[in-house]
Amino acid sequence: MINYVELPSKDLGATKAFFAAAFGWEFVDYGPEYTSFSATSAGLDGGFFLDTKASTTATGGALVVLKSDGLEATLAAVEAAGGVIVKPIFDFPGGQSPVSWGCQPSSRSSPGEAC
């Protein structure tokens, strides 16, 4: 069972702002280079640490799947918070995809950069 996950962030402020706006996550800071989120707001305990690298599937990072009971509304919230949808909702045998792929603003080097 996965108990805790830590992910890199190029900009902790931007990361926290994105996940708070898009998903309602709450954070606790542990100094200027680490912030944690809890299962209460995120569904899993974990944190973000300040790093010059970003974890993306394009660079071999894990694909983290977030559950949504209203996928279209969640996609709109992700985009409104500055995220980029890189794989839209799609159909597959058995139904519609329950997930879409996206990336948050601080995983890119510049605002226009692809994830």
Pairwise pLDDT comparison (1 vs 17), residue with the higher score: 17
Mean pLDDT of the chain: 80
Q: State mean pLDDT over 57-62.
A: 78
Model pTM score: 0.80
Look at residue 90 and tell me whether its pLDDT is greater than 60.
yes
Using pLDDT thresholds of 50, 70 and 90, give the confidence band for residue 42: confident
C-alpha triplet 4, 100, 107: angle, nearest 5°: 60
**CB-based contact 37:47 (threshold 8 Å):** yes
Q: How far from 36 is each of 40, 42, 44, 55, CA to CA, in Å?
A: 12, 10, 11, 17
Which pLDDT value is given to residue 27?
Answer: 96
Maximum CA extent, the chain: 47
Using pLDDT thresholds of 50, 70 and 90, give the confidence band for residue 64: confident
Look at residue 91 and tell me whether its pLDDT is greater than 90.
no
Quote the CA–CA distance of 52 and 70 in Å, as a whole number.
33
Using pLDDT thresholds of 50, 70 and 90, give the confidence band for residue 106: low
Q: State mean pLDDT over 78-94.
A: 78
